[in-house]
Structure 1
Amino acid sequence: MVLAAAITVLAIVTQDQAQLRAAPKDSAQQQAVLWQGDSLEIRGEKLDYLQVYDHRRERAGYIKASQVRIISTKPDDASELLSVVRFLGDTPGAEALGIAYTAVFLKAAPVQAINAEAFDTLGGMAERLARRASNKALNPGVKQNDTQIAAHLEVAAYYGVNLKSIERDGRIQLCYDGEAFRRVLAMNASQMQKAKAALALTRPDCIDPATRPTERNNIDLWRAEVLDKVEITELPEYQKNRIRMRRAGVWSSIAFQRQRKGDNSNNSNYSEAAANRALTELAGVNKTEMSDEDLVSYAEAGVRTGSMRWAAEPAPLPTSADSKNLRIVTTPGQPGETCVALLDAQHDSKAPLAQRCTYSLVWAASARSNPQHTALTLAVQPMDTWREMWLFHQTGKEWVIDVIPPATAEPDLGYAEFAGWVPGTTKFLMAREARVDGRYKRSFEIVSGESLQVERWADNPNSLSVFYRWQDPLWKKQTISLR
């Protein structure tokens, strides 16, 4: 706390918009407006008012005794303060007051009496306050008092609770910096407390979108290390699921970054190992032990892992140059660029049927040619959470390359993947899964190879007889969309 060490009795404001007056009268001039959680030094008492000094605003004055609680910072009173902290820790809207009580408890309690519980509760309140403020910023229609939220944030900052601002989609999101949760991980905490701390510290939505790739890689490696510190065998099933889902998302990002760097020198650093770790964690989720909130997290983990599943597949075997089948060949282009050439028995890399260069990851193992040798699909990934499908197809005498995204929205989270060819036609099957406007949509589609229009779709492949009949067995074996 910022208060002088000599102060042993404090007054904590318990009501919002309490008035600090120049005299112990309701008609006296107002000196300042106080909010729950503000701490005051008591200097006297007159009538039903307390004479106080506000160190944060450097103002003296009087406040009604009914609007504050007098608290002792003596070690003998620490247990009573902790009881109040426990109560306020689960009280929505009382985060600023709870943070104030926690600060006083940490000041009053002897060292041996301070354990992970206080920091666990403090972190939870700080994170809840950040969510309240972010919900207002991200959803302007939510009815909340802007002045109240701003005041509570100032109170929290006074006690050393730091919230960072992240710009996302043109709006500001607040995230707690996690200092209290870091202390939980460093202390002799229970596995449940460590799990809560690890989940709070590894939130993907609290990573600045403007983070550079190298910095992002270091962050993800740290996130993986934090999550691995949690021993999940002692956790309840729903909490095991949350850790596994978060691990799946983190290791998917690591797989993308390793593949991007092309670090194949050591199996422990190879992208295939990271992708397999992500798939293993996702497969370990118990779908019968999930809340509605967990269903959203599971959908996110599934999309993140699904977008990187090709990293877990072995490299394709070379195709004979005299084969009639269409095939692709990748060659380096400009620094960081990969050029993709479409070849067949009559066209080599010097005169390809079609060619395009990209800075995205090209998954050569995903290439699939139709029986008529007039079309080929390829998975191409520009971002760790966004995988597109390229369609090489013949239009008359020309070859065209079309890019099919997971959704019509701006790149965020999603993947589109080939699921099979419909014999005797130019149609093909496709599975898409993406987050659009905060909601997850999964669809299985029958697409025209000529117009690229979706002719029919369903959220379950069994609902489409054509899809059910002609889905590619290899796709069905490998895909995450059928989880």
Structure 2
Amino acid sequence: MKRTLFTLITAIASAATTVATAAATPATASAPTGAAASASSSAAASDFGSAIVVQDQASLRAAPRDSAQQQTLLWQGEVLEVRGERMDYLQVWDHKRERGGFIRASDVRRVSLTEADGPTLLSVLRFMRDTPGSEALGIGLTAAYLQAAPAAALSGERGAQALDALGTFADRLARRASLAPSSTAAGKANGATLSAHLDVANGYGVRFTTYEVEGRMQICYDGEAFRRVLAMPSADADQRARAALALTRPECTNPDLPAHERAKLQDWQAQLLEKVDVAGLPSYLRNRVQMRRAGLWSAVAFQQARKDGGPAAGAAASRALAEFAGVSRNDLPDEDQVAYNDAAMRVSAVRWALVPAAAPVADAKRPAVVVQPGAPGESCVLLVDAQRGAKDPLVRRCTYGVVWAASATVNREGTAVALAVQPLEGWRELWVMRKAGDAWVVDVLPPAATSPETGYAEFAGWVPGGQQMLVAREARGQGRYRKSFEVVRIDGLATERVTGDVASLPLFQRWQDAGWKRQTLSLR
């Protein structure tokens, strides 16, 4: 049975009479064939049928007694061929290990893989789909159902339910394995269990990808079952939404992808989410789709801005903002607050794409920012005034990030200029060019003093006197989230006052920039 799970899934896709390219990934492997013969041969493998292990670390013994020698430990979800019965034990054969033995009947669930067993197995799948900790068992039961159910059922709503359950089991198992701690004895034991469950899933043909991210392993399901759900006309809106969300998880994007491949993938993911009809979804699920759309369209806006900086970037940023604005915050469960804040930061990072850059105007007292191309892939920021133009600027600094020229603002005294620069997707810094004596220098204020993840630092207003400025910062890094409103010294960018509540800073109430207040998402 374990060897035929995905050949059976291929048979479902063929019976569904649909075009799989509607949900094909940029590079999708071809599916195996020959499902019908494999299924019939497995179903007739033994007159006693099969049994699926339902307990972790179930003992396979040499004789039907607790005192008999233990041959090996079995894990939930593993399938065994039943060859006989002795007392309260079943005599079984383990094809994976090529070993026979005896196992307690209470440690397994017997399945006959006949059509009559199909409805019962599907009922169990529906129950287990939302039961954490039993993913490997759920995958084994899914394999049993796919063999027991007739083709007519598999090509309709029941087949979509089975594939939805299979994808949910695999995706949740990958999430649990990625988050499992390993520094304690209990964590190591849990890690061993999860490793065994992943091995069981792999035995059924369920595939996972693994990436190293900041010293830890990120395990992700490859999404085969979800892609097939999207290709089935019998799948309902909820199933399609769950499948699209699973296929667009940002943490499952290969961090080593080249920039052009990453942009191609993100564009595909954004288009995939567009195929989800959110009108009839439950509010919490609709919110998740719209938050994911907002994050992806902001990524598309960043990539478009890096490419040519044309109207395509503004259109993508506008779409990101519209999707984020459609999220109902009152319908957000606690576990979705992280995704909501991350979506807000990603949209904030590209919001300047919505504002066209005006032609720089410099006079004797107020400098202006000019952006010119530098080395291949670089943009160079030049600060000019009426006396010193682009050929001999007051200061020049280049970056491989996106320079949002429309964000440039000069203080009343003409001694400081604030500029938004986005070096990475979802991470926007604040450049402050200030006059120091007869020269000009550039200081950079990041969203947080951590490795770049998600966040922004943005100008919020000038304080008269030329000594202070107002800044809003929001970031997530090293597992921590923080949003703050700060009074910052222009000279050196040291924070003088900081708070999480903008109303508690009188300088913010008096001198905040009207344009910032109108456009920022930090006041949400």
TM bucket by the smaller chain? Answer: over 0.9
Q: Which runs of 5+ in 1 are unaligned?
A: none
1:407 is matched with which residue? 448
1:434 is matched with which residue? 475
Q: 1:174 to 1:139 in 2, by over 3 A?
A: farther
* Residue deviations 1:271-312 (CA, integer Å, cap 9, x gap): 110000001111111111111112211100000110111111
Q: 1:141 to 1:407 in 2, by over 3 A?
A: farther
Letter in 2 for 1:192: D
1:7 is matched with which residue? 45
* Residue deviations 1:113-153 (CA, integer Å, cap 9, x gap): 12211111111111111122111158869745222111111
1:213-362 to structure 2, matched below 5 A, reads 213-262=259-308, 264=310, 270-319=312-361, 321-322=362-363, 324-362=365-403
**Does 2:522 align with 1:481?**
yes
**Higher deviation after alignment, 68-77 or 136-145:** 136-145
2:26 is matched with which residue? none
Ranked by relative contact order (alpha carbons within 8 Å, sequence separation 6 or more), the top structure is 2
> 66, 89, 105: which one pairs with 1:26?
66
CA distance in 1, matches of 2:185, 2:101: 38
2:407 is matched with which residue? 366
**Does 2:143 align with 1:96?**
no
Secondary structure class of the residue paired with 1:7: coil
Secondary structure class of the residue paired with 2:348: helix
Q: Identity over aligned residues, as a percent?
A: 54
CA-CA distance at 1:74 after TM superposition: 0.7
CA-CA distance at 1:98 after TM superposition: 1.1
Q: Is the 8 A contact 1:367 1:376 kept in 2?
A: yes
2:221 is matched with which residue? 176
Q: 1:449 to 1:163 in 2, by over 3 A?
A: same
**Higher deviation after alignment, 138-147 or 394-403:** 138-147
Q: Is the 8 A contact 1:18 1:34 kept in 2?
A: yes
CA distance in 1, matches of 2:184, 2:280: 41
Secondary structure class of the residue paired with 1:328: strand
CA-CA distance at 1:49 after TM superposition: 2.2
**Does 2:173 align with 1:129?**
yes
Q: Is the 8 A contact 2:180 2:190 kept in 1?
A: no
Letter in 1 for 2:153: A
CA distance in 2, matches of 1:365, 1:384: 18
1:166 is matched with which residue? 211
**Does 2:244 align with 1:198?**
yes
Q: Is the 8 A contact 1:136 1:142 kept in 2?
A: no
CA distance in 2, matches of 1:141, 1:339: 53
CA distance in 2, matches of 1:313, 1:408: 28
CA-CA distance at 1:445 after TM superposition: 0.7
Q: Is the 8 A contact 2:462 2:470 kept in 1?
A: yes
CA-CA distance at 1:29 after TM superposition: 2.6
2:435 is matched with which residue? 394
CA distance in 2, matches of 1:323, 1:368: 16
Letter in 1 for 2:356: P
Letter in 2 for 1:392: M
* Residue deviations 1:142-185 (CA, integer Å, cap 9, x gap): 74522211111111111111121111111001111111111111
**Higher deviation after alignment, 17-26 or 373-382:** 17-26
1:459 is matched with which residue? 500
Root-mean-square deviation over aligned CA pairs: 1.7
2:194 is matched with which residue? 149
* Residue deviations 1:423-451 (CA, integer Å, cap 9, x gap): 12410111111003323211111111123
CA-CA distance at 1:221 after TM superposition: 1.2
CA distance in 1, matches of 2:418, 2:183: 39
Letter in 2 for 1:111: A
Q: Is the 8 A contact 2:451 2:478 kept in 1?
A: no
Q: Is the 8 A contact 1:329 1:349 kept in 2?
A: yes
Secondary structure class of the residue paired with 1:233: coil
* Residue deviations 1:408-428 (CA, integer Å, cap 9, x gap): 001111111111100124101
Q: 1:142 to 1:247 in 2, by over 3 A?
A: farther
Q: Is the 8 A contact 2:416 2:432 kept in 1?
A: yes
> 79, 82, 91: which one pairs with 1:51?
91
CA distance in 1, matches of 2:186, 2:415: 53
Secondary structure class of the residue paired with 1:145: helix
CA distance in 1, matches of 2:192, 2:389: 68
Letter in 1 for 2:317: A
> 245, 257, 270: which one pairs with 1:211?
257
CA distance in 1, matches of 2:446, 2:182: 26
After TM superposition, the score normalised by the length of structure 1 is 0.95
Q: Which runs of 5+ in 2 are unaligned?
A: 4-40
Q: 1:322 to 1:446 in 2, by over 3 A?
A: closer
Q: 1:109 to 1:241 in 2, by over 3 A?
A: same
Q: Is the 8 A contact 1:14 1:69 kept in 2?
A: yes
CA-CA distance at 1:30 after TM superposition: 2.3
Secondary structure class of the residue paired with 1:407: coil
CA distance in 2, matches of 1:139, 1:387: 34
CA distance in 1, matches of 2:183, 2:430: 33
* Residue deviations 1:198-236 (CA, integer Å, cap 9, x gap): 111111111121111111111111111221111111112
Letter in 1 for 2:162: A
**Does 2:156 align with 1:111?**
no
CA distance in 1, matches of 2:495, 2:375: 35
Secondary structure class of the residue paired with 1:221: helix
Q: 1:10 to 1:304 in 2, by over 3 A?
A: same
CA distance in 2, matches of 1:397, 1:467: 30
1:61-100 to structure 2, matched below 5 A, reads 61-100=101-140
Q: Is the 8 A contact 2:208 2:219 kept in 1?
A: yes
CA distance in 1, matches of 2:388, 2:184: 57
